[in-house]
Amino acid sequence: MKMRWMIGVLLLAGFALSWAVPHFGWLDPYILLVLMYLGINIILTASLNLVNGYMGEFSVGHAGFMAVGAYVSSVLTVNLFPVTGAVFLFPVAVVGGGLAASLAGLLVSIPSFRTRGDYLAIVTLAFGMIVKSALENIESVGGPRGFMGMEQLTTLPWVYVWVVVTIWILRNLVFSKYGRGMAAIREDEVACDLCGVHTRRVKISAFVVSAFFAGVAGGLYAHVLQFINPRMFDILKSTEILIMVYLGGMASLGGSILGASIYTIAMELLREQGAWRMVLMPLLLILLMLFRPRGLFGLREFPWLVPLRDLVLLRPVKKQKEKTHVPAGS
């Protein structure tokens, strides 16, 4: 109970801070910008972790869903919303982008999860390419030149709120029967099916939720940059998100927060190095795979990210001394 209070207070304090910092100009605008990217990366990483980490599937087209969210929300704020109301309607635009992305997610997942086997990687790869070339050919959103005219509607408090909402919702999902279903799909899909889980439905739902938040991240991203073009959402961007997921650790929201933070900050620190950072990060990843294949925080969770009920129950029992009598067989 005490922890719940503390979390609530800390979340509120965090919100106040996210408002005060830019308002009073406590930090360099450049650092503010990095902080916003960091938040967006957390949303991207945590949402992809749902599919790749918790569920053990391999989706490689997260940037495609991000693109859908970015374009849809931008078209909403620039072309459809009244000029004066844009600020207030911004959350609607972001949710709209998320919904569009989740619809795309639904379309992608239905054929991908039709049968067992690993079609998802191929389908999502193709999806990423299709989205990019489709956008390049739609003149009304600028084609290859890109789309602009958005105001900088994404602010630090907004990013903060969306990060909290994303993590909270993903945590709720993970600690529910659907989350257990996802983990069981990762562990043994056939056995999971035989335990009464409608595995295909669970997979599609997880994918749709994951795509939604990728779309939200896209919407926020577009309204930081105020300019988007199809190349921003290519396979490199998807790879970057994959790196953050595996760096932080599979099946861990805490891991995703860590992974996104470390990656974003490292990339900024290495900016001076230019082309070298494109060598250093993959190298880091290879080292990680060799020495810590689960990622920094894989399959673990910060206590404050675990619902109270589960926390009390799932705390591993300390060294069971008087273990039940059955000795190891075979």
Partner 1 sequence: MSLLEVEHITQHFGGLCAVSDFSLRLEPGELVGLIGPNGAGKTTVFNIMTGVYRPTSGRIHLDGEDLVGLSPSAIHARGLARTFQNIRLFKKMTVLDNVRLARYARLGYNPLEALFHVGRFRAEELKILEHARSLLALFHLEDAAGERAENLPYGLQRKLEIIRALASQPRILLLDEPAAGMNPPEIEELMAFIQRIRKEFALTILLIEHQMRLVMGICDRLVVLDFGATIAEGLPHEIQKHPQVLQAYLGVEVGE
Residue numbers of the site for partner 1 (CB under 8 A)? 169, 172-173, 176-178, 180-181, 183-184, 186-188, 190-199, 205, 209, 299, 307, 309, 313-317, 320, 323-324, 326-330
Instruction: Classify 212 in phi/psi space as left (phi over 0), alpha (psi -120 to 50) or beta.
Output: alpha
One-letter amino acid of 5: W
Q: Is the dihedral of CA 134, 138, 142, 148 positive or negative?
A: negative
**115 backbone φψ class: left, alpha, beta (φ>0; ψ -120 to 50):** beta
First to last CA, the chain: 45
Q: CB-wise, 34 or 311, nearer to partner 1?
A: 311
Q: Which is nearer to partner 1, 113 or 263 (CB)?
A: 113
Shortest approach of partner 1 to residue 299 CB, angstroms?
A: 6
- Nearer CB in complex with partner 1: 290/317: 317
**Pick 156 or 206: Cβ nearer partner 1:** 206
Question: Among residues 84 and 320, whose Cβ is nearest to partner 1?
Answer: 320
Minimum CB distance to partner 1, residue 292 (Å) = 16
Residue 148's DSSP bridge partners are 227
> Which of 115, 106, 66 is CA-nearest to residue 207?
106
User: Residue 84, class by beta-carbon neighbours within 10 Å (0-12 exposed, 13-18 middle, 19+ buried)?
Assistant: exposed
3 state SS of 90: helix
Spatial distance between the Cα atoms of 20 and 39, rounded to a whole number of angstroms: 17
Closer CB to partner 1, 37 or 178, in the complex: 178
Shortest distance, position 192 Cβ to partner 1, whole Å: 7
Shortest distance (Å) from residue 250 CB to partner 1: 10
Query: In the bound complex, what is the minimum distance in angstroms from residue 27's beta carbon to partner 1?
Result: 33
The smaller minimum CB distance to partner 1, of residues 116 and 231, is found at: 116
Rounded-to-integer distance, Cα 252 and Cα 296, Å: 10
CB of 112 to partner 1, least distance (A): 18
Coil, strand or helix at 127: helix
Shortest Å, Cβ 7 to partner 1: 14
Q: Which is nearer to partner 1, 76 or 214 (CB)?
A: 214
Q: Among residues 33 and 169, whose Cβ is nearest to partner 1?
A: 169
Minimum Å gap between C-beta 207 and partner 1 is: 13
Report whether 163 contacts 39 (CB < 8 A): yes
Min dist CB 168 to partner 1, Å, is 9
Task: State the DSSP string of 159-194.
Answer: HHHHHHHHHHHHHHHHTSHHHHHHHHHHH-HHHHHH
Q: What is the rounded CA–CA span in Å between residue 10 and residue 194?
A: 43
Element (H, E) at 148: strand 147-148
Asked whether the CA dihedral 298, 65, 171, 224 is positive or negative, the reply is: positive
